[in-house]
Structure 1
Amino acid sequence: MSYQLSAVIADADVLREHTAGLDHAVLGELRQDFALLPVTPQLVEELTGALPDYSVEDRDDRHPFELVLGPALTETWARWSGQGPVAYVEAEFAGGLGYQSAAVWLGGALRWGPHVDTTFNRPRERWPINAALVELGVEPGPWIDAFAELGLHLERSTEGWLAHGRRRLSADYWDDLADEWEAGQSGG
């Protein structure tokens, strides 16, 4: 099973404020009052005035993201971070191989990262997206890690998150469906 994500994650109110006038911004609701903004080529063009550029290099410390984060894009996220931390995250997996990368801006500057991991031989809490989410202020809960705590496992792709946001679903929507199914299976 594959997984692909390119998104900005921040406090839902921060993202709502900064994306209100954008034609290509769709917010996906997460838990703990966070939201996810899928980063699509159309959104990048709207934010920067230029088509996005993508790295063909393998992910490593020099090339942590597939999307090349040029000055116009990083300045946008730095500006947004004046009201609270903003993370850019990427992940791509297929057949057990892949990577995840993350960076966090706060107070108008890059605060953390970027970090990339392609081996996942460290504890889950040190994986880049989990660590970035902690920098954002995600609180521990009943889920296995911060990634699942926010509900990032609920969609398998950036396109899935676009559909999620367009349908105005909450992260708890899927939990409610699972509870309904379990109740039906048990005769409750």
Structure 2
Amino acid sequence: MSYQLSAVVADADLLREQTDGLDHAVLAALRQEFALLPVTPQLVQELTGSLPDFTVEELGPERPFHLVLSPALDELLAGWSRRGPVAYLEAEFAGGLGNQSSVVWLGGEVSRGPHFDGTLDRPRADWPINAALVRLGAEPGPWIDPFAELGLYLERDTAGWLAHGRRGLTADYWDELAEEWELRQSGRHQQPDRPGPVGDWGIP
């Protein structure tokens, strides 16, 4: 099963303030009062006045993102970070193979990254997305890592996150469905399938 992510993550209030009035900004709720802003070509054009560029070369430490962070987009996200830390996250997985990358701005400048990992063979805390979420202020909890703790497994692509945001779903949407299903099963101890595992990111 595949997974794809291209999104800005930050405090929900911060993102609401910065995207208020934008036609192509859709915020999806995460746990711990964070929100995810799916990054689409339409959103980039609305934010910067120009269509986005995408790299055609193989990703790596020198080119960590499919989306080219133009000077205009970098400056914009850096500006948002004067109100609190802001992260841009990318991930792409299929058949258990893939990569993830992240960069975090704080106080108007880059505070971490960009970082890229195409093997994820380091400790989980060092994976680019987990490390970025900790820099944002994510707190540990019952899930295996910050990625799972905040609920980034809830949707598997940009279209899913857009639907999640437009429907106003909570980050615990799948948990609520599971509880409702259990109540209807008259004592049967099973749960409906959640979204499947993504590279062993701690998802049941």
TM bracket, shorter-chain basis: over 0.9
Structure 1 distance, partners of 2:112, 2:47, is 22
Indicate the SS of the match to 1:130.
helix
Match of 2:59 in 1: 59
Structure 2 distance, partners of 1:138, 1:182, is 30
Give yes or no for the alignment of 1:101 onto 2:101.
Answer: yes
Question: 1:132: how far off?
Answer: 0.1
Cα gap change, 1:141 to 1:186, in 2 (>3 Å)? farther
Aligned-pair RMSD on alpha carbons?
1.0
Indicate the SS of the match to 2:153.
coil
Q: Is there any run of 5+ residues in structure 2 with no aligned partner, and where?
A: 189-204
Structure 1 distance, partners of 2:152, 2:77, is 20
Match of 1:6 in 2: 6
Structure 2 distance, partners of 1:151, 1:124, is 16
After superposition, the C-alpha distances for 1:44-92 in whole angstroms (9 at most, x for unaligned) are 0001111100001111111000000010001010000000000000000
Q: Is there any run of 5+ residues in structure 1 with no aligned partner, and where?
A: none
Question: 1:186: how far off?
Answer: 4.9
* TM-score normalised by L of structure 2: 0.90
Give yes or no for the alignment of 1:20 onto 2:20.
Answer: yes
Indicate the SS of the match to 1:179.
helix
Match of 1:86 in 2: 86
Structure 2 distance, partners of 1:172, 1:91, is 22
Indicate the SS of the match to 1:178.
helix
After superposition, the C-alpha distances for 1:122-160 in whole angstroms (9 at most, x for unaligned) are 121111000000000000000111001000001000110
What number of residue pairs does the alignment pair up? Answer: 188
Structure 1 distance, partners of 2:97, 2:150, is 23
